[in-house]
Chain A
Amino acid sequence: MSTWTIIEKSLPSLLVAMLKYTIPLTLISFALGLILAVLVALIRISESHNPLMRGLKGLAWFYVWIFRGTPLLVQLFIVFFGLPALKVNGHALIELNAWTAGILTFSLNTGAYASETIRASIQSIPQPQWEAAYALGMTRPKVLWRIILPQAARVSLPPLSNSFISLVKDTSLASGITIIEMFQVSQQFAALYYNPLVSYSLVAFLYLMLSTLLTVLQSYLERRTSRYVRVGQQF
């Protein structure tokens, strides 16, 4: 079968898998991961000494340690195949369908990396910005929300875009926990037409198109959020 015929026959299914699984999995996980990341970052930079906050700080540290320190594929396998093995009186304590397990794991994994990005971005905003805001009579949450986070968002945009693009590609690992996402579909075509080079190159091209789209989006957002700074050298 010719290369073009293979492409013609597999492209519609691949695009359906992209729209039904790859893109939703990425968008939902990234959104949840980002919310989690901001919370974790705020906990980790907290200066409060109350026992609850200290406990949360320990927990946040532990979470980032685990999710950055172990392979994403292994995390997916533990959540999907491993957790149902926790049994009480012969009944599984936690049983997640593949979709839920995927979203949960991708969100937690992205959140761990992004929390470090956001923490570093917050800490990159100079101390005098805090002082100027405090001097206006703002409380700490208000300083963060009105003055520090908007500036930190600009700083964190390029590294967060990295995480986003990584996540698009990492959703291919969901094929390992029975989700029929784009890469899983391409594996089926590779087996059907006996031409792995064409099938896998085609799916690689589709991932590349998605990443490219995100890169364009990143440039646009960078321009928008950098309106107030003079970027680059001016000689």
Chain B
Amino acid sequence: MLSVDHLTKDFGNGRGLHDVSVQFPAEQTTVIVGPSGSGKTTLLRHLDFLETADAGRYRFDDLDYDLSQPLTKQEVLAARQKLGIVFQSYNLFPHLTVLGNIIEGPVHVRHMAKAEAVTQATTLLAQVGLADKASAYPDELSGGQQQRIAIARMMAMQPEYMLFDEPTSALDPELEVEVLRVIQQLATAHNSLIIVTHNMAFAESVADHIVFVEDGTIGYDGDPHTFFAQPTDRIRRFLAAGTFTA
């Protein structure tokens, strides 16, 4: 189980996170939604220590960190090696081929034998539907393909939790679907997922657990059915804003 308690981060100008406590259950899909600038991406980035919190408590299985103290590199690594993240802008390594991207972590961080890493990468590439792209460079692929490679790269580390930071926000609707399908497969297979998204239809279809973030605080934390079927006024306004009516 991964959780944060009383997580606080002040970016100045009133933005950040204010006393946020959330539990992310294992083997479930938690979807984080909320208006732009509400802090949902910030919350996700804190889980992987890509941001430094001002205060709070971080618990992940046997790890238990007081975030008001500076963490050691080993403490940060211990958490990061149990997590994988997929970024909005893919962030593939452009100087490595698709295969090179996927085996980079297993070979150079987990010290897996190269042959074994390649075999695993081949399986993952087939799983994301890009078996024929192993020797391509990221620059030669579409956005949707790059994001599926990024998912394969993350899966190659066999993380306990898979984090997705607006994974389809940079994609056309057609390309978005191919990425969402891959994520949906992961969700269906009872992996532990935490997804930040603007796509409400997708959120509703995959979420076991919804977290609504607003102005750096948690506006809702619970089951998706209640969230979508019996929203509070604030949530109703948020959901309505995402629906275009001519």
Contact = CB atoms under 8 A, between A and B. Distances in A.
Interface string A80-91: 000000000000
Given A129-B91, A146-B108, A139 B80 contact: no
19 contacts: A128-B87, A128-B91, A129-B91, A129-B93, A131-B50, A131-B87, A131-B91, A132-B87, A135-B50, A135-B80, A136-B104, A136-B105, A136-B153, A137-B110, A139-B73, A146-B104, A150-B95, A227-B137, A228-B137
B77 interface: yes
B84 interface: yes
B93 A139 contact: no
Interface of A: 128-129, 131-139, 142, 146-147, 150-151, 154, 227-230
Contact of A228 (B48, B81, B95): B95
Given A131-B87, A228-B139, A139 B77 contact: yes
Given A228-B94, A229-B139, A138 B109 contact: yes
Contact of A134 (B80, B92, B95): B80
A147 B96 CA distance: 9
Interface of chain B: mostly helix, strand, loop or mixed: loop
Contacts of B73: 139
A138 B105 CA distance: 8
Interface residues of B, number: 28
Interface string B125-142: 000000000000111000
B89 interface: yes
Nearest to A227: B137
Contacts of B104: 136, 146
Contacts of A134: 50, 80
B33 interface: no
A142 B94 contact: no
B93 A137 contact: no
B48 to A, nearest CB: 6
B94 A128 contact: no
Nearest to B91: A132
